[in-house]
Amino acid sequence: MNFSGNEYKRIAIIRLSSLGDIVHTIPAFNLLRKQFPHAKISWFAEPIGVELLKLVSGIDEIIVLNLKTKGLFNKIKEIKKVLSLYRKTFDLVIDFQGLLKSAILARLLKGEAIGFNKENLKEPLARHFYQRQASLFDETRHVILKNIHIIRDLLPGGGSAVQYPLKPVPMSSRLKDFLEKNKLEKNNYVIINVGGGWESKLMSIEQYVKIINRIKKYNYNTVILWGNEKEKAVAKEVSCQTGTLISTFFDFSELILFIRYSRLIVSGDTLGLHLADMVGKPSVGIFGPTSPWRNGSLLKKSVPVYEKLPCSFCYKKKCGTIDCTKKISAEKVINAIEKVYEA
pLDDT of residue 1: 39
CB 118 within 8 A of CB 152: no
Q: Taking all residues of the chain, what is their mean pLDDT, rounded to a whole number?
A: 94
Using only C-alpha atoms, the chain has a radius of gyration, in whole angstroms, of 21
> Does residue 156 surpass a pLDDT of 90?
no
pLDDT of residue 2: 43
Beta partners for 283? 265
Give the per-residue SS3 of the chain.
CCCCHHHCCEEEEECCCCHHHHHHHHHHHHHHHHHCCCCEEEEEECHHHHHHHCCECCCCEEEECCCCCCCHHHHHHHHHHHHHHHCCCCCEEEECCCCHHHHHHHHHCCCEEEECCHHHCCCHHHHHHCCEECCCCCCCCCHHHHHHHHHHHHCCCCCCCCCCCECCCCCCHHHHHHHHHCCCCCCCEEEEECCCCCHHHCCCHHHHHHHHHHHHHHCCEEEEECCCHHHHHHHHHHHHHHCCEECCCCCHHHHHHHHHHCCEEEEECCHHHHHHHHCCCCEEEEECCCCHHHHCCCCCCCEEEECCCCCCCCCCCCCCCCHHHHCCCHHHHHHHHHHHHHC
Mean pLDDT on 147-154: 95
CB 206 within 8 A of CB 194: no
pLDDT of residue 339: 96
Instruction: Report the alpha-carbon distance of residue 51 to residue 48 in Å, rounded.
Output: 7
Mean pLDDT on 213-221: 92
pLDDT of residue 75: 82
Mean pLDDT on 119-131: 96
Count CA atoms closer than 13 A to 323's CA, side-chain side.
6
pLDDT digits (tens, 9 = 90+) for 82-115: 999 999 999 999 999 999 999 999 999 999 999 9
pLDDT digits (tens, 9 = 90+) for 159-210: 779 999 999 999 999 999 999 999 999 999 999 999 988 889 999 999 999 9
> Does residue 216 surpass a pLDDT of 80?
yes
Beta partners for 43? 13, 62
Burial label for 15, CB within 10 Å (0-12, 13-18, 19+), is: buried
Question: CATH number of the domain at 173-342, out of 3.30.450.20, 3.30.70.20, 3.40.50.2000, 3.10.20.30?
Answer: 3.40.50.2000
CB 265 within 8 A of CB 259: yes
> Does residue 316 surpass a pLDDT of 60?
yes
Which one, of 191, 190, 206, lies nearest residue 325 by Cα? 206
pLDDT digits (tens, 9 = 90+) for 286-308: 999 999 999 999 999 999 999 98
> Does residue 283 surpass a pLDDT of 90?
yes
User: 0.85 exceeded by the pTM?
Assistant: yes
CA angle 98–61–75, rounded 5-degree value: 50
In the CATH scheme, what architecture does the domain 5-154 have?
3-Layer(aba) Sandwich (3.40)
Instruction: List the chain domain ranges.
Output: 5-154, 173-342
Instruction: Report the alpha-carbon distance of residue 278 to residue 256 in Å, rounded.
Output: 9
> Does residue 285 surpass a pLDDT of 70?
yes
Q: CATH topology of 5-154 equal to that of 173-342?
A: yes
Instruction: Report the alpha-carbon distance of residue 47 to residue 78 in Å, rounded.
Output: 12
Which one, of 117, 94, 116, lies nearest residue 106 by Cα? 94
Count of residues in the chain = 343
pLDDT digits (tens, 9 = 90+) for 4-63: 445 899 999 999 989 999 999 999 999 999 999 999 999 999 999 999 999 999 999 999
